[in-house]
Amino acid sequence: MSVGARLRLVPVLVIAALVVGCATGGYRTVTKNGHEKVYKVDEAGEKNLVYEVSPDGELTVHDEADPRAQQALEGQRKLEQAQAAEVERLERIASAPKRADDDPIRVLIHEIELSEDLRQAQHTEGAVQEQLRKEFEGDAVIAVVDPAASQGRELTQAFRILAGQAPSQAPPSDVEVVTRAYVQEKVGINKSTKKVGSYAAVVFEATITSNYLPAEHVVTEEGSIFRNVEVTHKLAEKIKAVIKNEIGPTIPEDRNL
């Protein structure tokens, strides 16, 4: 399952957790190494294990009559429905007609995760982000979407699933790009002196994912921090190549699948 697919299911987990957390009364939750146990505490202080959730999300109920356990089971049922719906969706997309070669590909470029030293090295706040976005302007196929367009969609979809409604809805973007950037000390040969020396390099790592079929690609680019414009350009070219050549041919003609 792609990152995009996982992102669509994460809110279901959050909502399920909120539903479970609505129960009031003498309950105590103990979490250790990612393993969660929920106890009901009586007036004498005695604890009775109601249910537990393993680090991989497996739910084990010990008291099915308990209201909080029932809520946990209902949350699990809704999550399983969402997962089954996603599997069916992927099957439909795999066999569906695909977009035409000249059909725009909507790309969401998330805010770059900058290391603190690189953040401080920017001549203005947001300069690196803007520099990357400009590389996509005027592209004949790639259309960069407004990040605000995706806000709230995942939460809305989670509520639709919990209400037993079909979650199908065209995502606000076809492809998402998440980028990390940091400064790293590198060793190389000085072209002038021909001697070994060190220099500060800016390193970019971009993860490109499809919001349709499972596809995740990682591209990297690095170079002198004083040539970050050139490095950003090379990174953008790699990102574009993945989007157009690898992910583009798998995007369905009907985005509502």
* pLDDT attached to residue 251: 95
- What is the extent of the structural domain holding 172? 105-250
Specify whether 170 is located in the same domain as 204: yes
Specify whether 69 is located in the same domain as 138: no
Q: What is the pTM of this model?
A: 0.70
Specify whether 66 is located in the same domain as 13: yes
Q: Does 141 reside within a domain?
A: yes
* pLDDT attached to residue 122: 74
Alpha-carbon distances of 219 from 19, 108, 180, 206, 233, rounded to whole Å: 39, 16, 11, 5, 13
Specify whether 162 is located in the same domain as 182: yes
Which stretches of 63-220 are DSSP H helices?
Answer: 67-95, 116-121, 127-134, 153-162
Low-confidence ranges of the chain (pLDDT < 70): 1-25, 149-170, 188-191, 193-194, 197, 199
* pLDDT attached to residue 65: 94
Q: Does 256 reside within a domain?
A: no
Specify whether 79 is located in the same domain as 182: no
Specify whether 69 is located in the same domain as 149: no
* pLDDT attached to residue 225: 80
Q: b or e along 1-36 (b: 16 or more beta carbons within 10 Å of the residue's beta carbon)?
A: ebbbbeebbebbeebbeeebeebeeebeeeeeeeee
CATH number at residue 135: 3.30.160
* pLDDT attached to residue 253: 94
Specify whether 85 is located in the same domain as 35: yes
Specify whether 148 is located in the same domain as 115: yes
Q: Which of 42, 77, 95 is the last residue of a domain?
A: 95
Specify whether 115 is located in the same domain as 91: no
Cβ atoms within 10 Å of 206's Cβ, excluding its own: 23
* pLDDT attached to residue 188: 66
Report the amino acid identity of residue 147: P
* pLDDT attached to residue 75: 85
- Rounded to whole angstroms, the Cα distance separating 154 from 150 reads 8
Specify whether 181 is located in the same domain as 65: no
Report the number of distinct structural domains present in the chain.
2
Strands 105-109 and 175-189 turn out to be: parallel
Specify whether 137 is located in the same domain as 211: yes
Q: Which of 42, 72, 95 is the last residue of a domain?
A: 95
Specify whether 190 is located in the same domain as 211: yes
